[in-house]
Structure 1
């Protein structure tokens, strides 16, 4: 049933939706934390919520990056695409994405703790924070985490996505005969190219740079 829907692209989209759905499930806890200015849900849920936050960030960005590679292969290497762009391989790649995300998600879960004012200088009276407790020396590991997030959740995806879409547009531009003398055609061409790059550029920003944990890297 729904065999036509079982394509590599749709499987990547499902993986993206799954990561977003998990992140959405934590919103009630996040909202309560901001409204109450404390974390009332205990340490176990603290670990779950923080790890899901990082899982969502990395799985979303890795999936978007893989989708750009998938589109590049489909356009620039159509023969190889028949073997590469299969539902089975897309599922394997999705599993690999979650495994790679676990390299940061599992340590985050282990380091997530709840702290009260007695153990946290910025705490208020009766305030409990859900935060990360890095091993000694904490400043070193905090810096390492920030650098890893910046490189693997922003710089590398941006580079891969830019290269893949750049090569795709370059190939398409040589194959398609466009009447470049027509101003409407020319304007539409520039708009479509800009729209494609805008999509590629904004996705990593929306999924990473605007994320609360990613912004913490720049504080």
Structure 2
């Protein structure tokens, strides 16, 4: 499997499967810890609708679409996990692609309105200006998304003073050999949700990446197809 091969870049489908595996295995634990995992397409959905949102006269009533709605509320016509933003969920974990080839992990802290960017290859987008270009639409949209999917009393007026900022730690694992950014982004999110520190993420090395890539491949096979030993 391409997911198991060291330095092999992985696609949006691979990342979505990885996030899906984590949610199926640990989703209840994540929700009990007041956090929710969403997949790449949820973040991409917000960004893709941003231009339309900017033109809308009714910002609070803007329709972000079913995928974004489900990702941030857990509610569909057939399902309702009753976990609302700021009521039951304080952190949202999501993978994000910068450009066409680089994955990062986002820890969206709703209460302090800060996004932690877990990036295994900072030199790929080293300057703050580069990061701002990738994050601008999402950061501008998040207050309105939060207002749309939170109880009115918690977030009804997404003014500028409620804007989201970002921080990118520089003491986590650096994937100098490149190609492992997708699995690393997911691993960082998994570790953060489990309570590991940036320093812990900094203890990862290339050999460990090879190992957890293989384990991710086996885990996703077991979860969605069958016994990995078959």
State the TM-score, normalized to the length of structure 2: 0.22
Structure holding more strand per residue: 2
Higher Cα Rg: structure 1 or 2?
1
